[in-house]
Amino acid sequence: MTRRTRLTLWYLESRDAPSGLGAPPVIVGQTDGGGVHAPLNKPPVISNFRAIVGPNGQVTFAGTVSDDTPVAGYVVRITGPGVDTYAIVQGDGSFSTTTVVSAQESVTVSATTTDSGGLKSDPVYTTFTPSP
């Protein structure tokens, strides 16, 4: 015989709050004497973006992401002629990914990322010539 349990969800009103926390509220943000303003979220910045050309058309794209929030897990999208790849940002802000690029001439690619607040970085560019 299967026993079933029914789960009921109750909506909390704004006045319902846990008791016994004992800590006063913390105000975060800038004040002008008239109220509290939310801290400004700035878009992420990609720096030191470069292409490292290896043998047989292999190219490693690398760089660093900085932001006013932790950057671990951000996705850097790298696109250009014959290139459409991505890299995951590490806890220290670095990212790196390797792909094969087939081209006989120089290629310019761009990289962008978006932060947890939805702000997109300005694109950064690098130009390289893949090896045959």
- Is the pLDDT reported for residue 29 higher than 60? no
Structure tokens, 9: 């969800």
Structure tokens, 56: 């047989």
25/63 Cα distance (integer angstroms): 39
* Model confidence pLDDT, tens digit, residues 89-127: 999 999 999 999 988 899 999 999 999 889 999 999 999
Please give the share of the chain, as a percent, with pLDDT higher than 90.
Answer: 63
| Residue 99 · residue 85 · CB < 8 Å | yes
pLDDT confidence of residue 100? 95
* Model confidence pLDDT, tens digit, residues 1-23: 667 777 666 665 555 555 555 55
| Residue 93 · residue 49 · CB < 8 Å | no
> Sign of the CA dihedral 98, 66, 127, 122?
positive
pLDDT confidence of residue 106? 95
Structure tokens, 69: 């929030």
Identify the three-state secondary structure at position 30.
strand
Structure tokens, 63: 């760089």
**Which helix H or strand E contains 126, and what residues bound it?**
strand 124-128
Structure tokens, 77: 């999208």
* Model confidence pLDDT, tens digit, residues 34-61: 555 566 789 999 999 999 999 999 999 9
pLDDT confidence of residue 31? 54
Structure tokens, 62: 């690398």
Structural domains of the chain sorted by starting position, each given as residue range(s) with its CATH number in brackets: 45-128 (2.60.40.10)
